[in-house]
Amino acid sequence: MSASLILSGDYRDHGAQQPCQQQQQLLHQQAPLHSVLPYMLIEDEVHGVIELPSHIQEIVEHPLFQRLKKIHQLGLVAWVIAPHANQKRYDHCLGTYKSAQEHLRAIERNSKYETKLPDWCRKAVEIAALLHDIGHGPMSHAWEKASHNKFNHEENALDCVDRIFNDARHPELVALRDEGSGRGVRLIKALILGDTEYLNFPMMGHAYIFDIVHNNRCGLDVDKWDYLRRDNKRLKILGPEEMDFDNIFLKSRISQDGQRIEYRYDDYHRIYTLFAARARLHVEAYQHPKNAAAEKIFVDLVQRLAPQMFDLRSKDAGWLNLDDDHILEMVKNDPMAAYIREPQRVVELPSLDCLGANALPVSRIIEGPGSTMKPDKAFALYGDKRKKRKINRCLSATTFNKCFTLE
């Protein structure tokens, strides 16, 4: 390994090998603690080694981004269903950054579109992918439920973007902030929201980049591409055939007018495979009855004991300390908190008799993949139409009404 590179990351969480002692000594000798070297290397369990140029390194080392190491990607799933599914938002954001790079390279390789994407736009796409989830509260989406959706992680992310760029020192970040009346930062925010209306300037033949990070047109984006692979790697719920959707992104191209990303007719069935994979992970992990019960306990605890925390945003002084461990520490002395630490004491009842004092009813309606996948007209397709395979959309929702007792 070159001495000009830093190996970084949480080796225990990423399953990576620690650098040998000689490598560590070499890095410590030639890489002072506060220096910014040309590249940072982070070993990732999904993408292998992710190379970060110095301007991205500055963002990753910002306290707002480092906080994501303390936010579980799957919230309470790691406590109550799969302790090994303890990946963090930090990992997912880095993976989404890498996925955005791979997607951009693929569409440019597969296209005859001659208008080159300006470098500042490319950087905006990559940074939007990196920062798309930086605004998450403790326990990720469970925090939004606990706040009755008054807290929005995407809106909060926009303030994070402002703070990071206000602190920026790297010339490439300063240019995104200052040149063209701040057009670079504005584009980053618009891409995080997936909203072209947020811009105050036209994209001039490059509107297709709005299909990369947060695709409101058809739902195919690098956010899903990373988290489905990352989450399933830990959960081990889906087999290889159920995860066969990489070519959706790797074989896509830019439309002739530069307005859309087009996907192959050959991969139409893989689009459904992606949404079916997402639906199954919702049923068997994200919204599993046991996780739903834990979320209900968590919501009650925070609403009773720390409701003031819902008012905190990234611009507030206490935001950097608002993480999973901090919230659990705040509620740990309440008797109900024991059921998060000891989920085996939350026991499903064989009947729906939820009248007892210790009874905990939970219910969910989880849409089927045929419903969450948008109608065919939402997808721009190219190639040989005869290769489009027929799919049988599952429109049926998965519904459960369960009752647990707290022992």
Name residue 398's beta-bridge partners.
366
Calculate the CA 115 to chain-centre distance: 30
Query: Could you give the angle at the alpha carbon of 277 between the alpha carbons of 283 and 279, nearest 5°?
Result: 35
Looking at residues 73-85, what average pLDDT do you find? 97
81 pLDDT tier (thresholds 50, 70, 90) = very high
- What is the secondary structure of 12-71 as a DSSP string? HHHTPPPPPHHHHHHHHHHS-TT---SEEEEEETTTEEEEEEHHHHHHHTSHHHHGGGGS
Which has the closest alpha carbon to 283: 392, 399, 144?
Answer: 399
Query: Could you give the angle at the alpha carbon of 358 between the alpha carbons of 357 and 360, nearest 5°?
Result: 110
Looking at residues 395-402, what average pLDDT do you find? 96
**Ramachandran region of residue 231, left (φ > 0), alpha (ψ -120 to 50) or beta?**
alpha
Q: pLDDT tens digit string along 218-233? A: 999 999 999 999 999 9
Looking at residues 10-38, what average pLDDT do you find? 40
Q: Which domains does the chain have, with CATH numbers?
A: 39-346 (1.10.3210.10), 349-406 (no CATH)
Which range, of 18-22, 181-185, 239-243, averages the lowest pLDDT? 18-22
Residue 3 has pLDDT above 60, yes or no: no
Looking at residues 378-391, what average pLDDT do you find? 98
Q: What is the pTM of this model?
A: 0.91
**Would you state the structure tokens that stand for residue 20, as one six-digit string?**
């040998």
Mean pLDDT of the residues in the chain? 91
Backbone angles phi, psi at 253, to 5 degrees: -150, 170
Cβ atoms < 10 Å from Cβ of 375: 8
pLDDT (0 to 100) of residue 37: 61
Q: pLDDT tens digit string along 181-221? A: 999 999 999 999 999 999 999 998 999 999 999 999 999 99
pLDDT (0 to 100) of residue 101: 98
pLDDT (0 to 100) of residue 375: 97
Query: Could you give the angle at the alpha carbon of 172 between the alpha carbons of 169 and 178, nearest 5°?
Result: 80
CA separation for the pair 285, 281 (Å, rounded): 5
Residue 31 has pLDDT above 90, yes or no: no
Which has the closest alpha carbon to 404: 291, 285, 293, 288?
Answer: 293
Q: How far is CA 405 from CA 111, 134, 365, in A?
A: 57, 36, 21
Q: Are 153 and 160 in contact (CB under 8 A)?
A: no
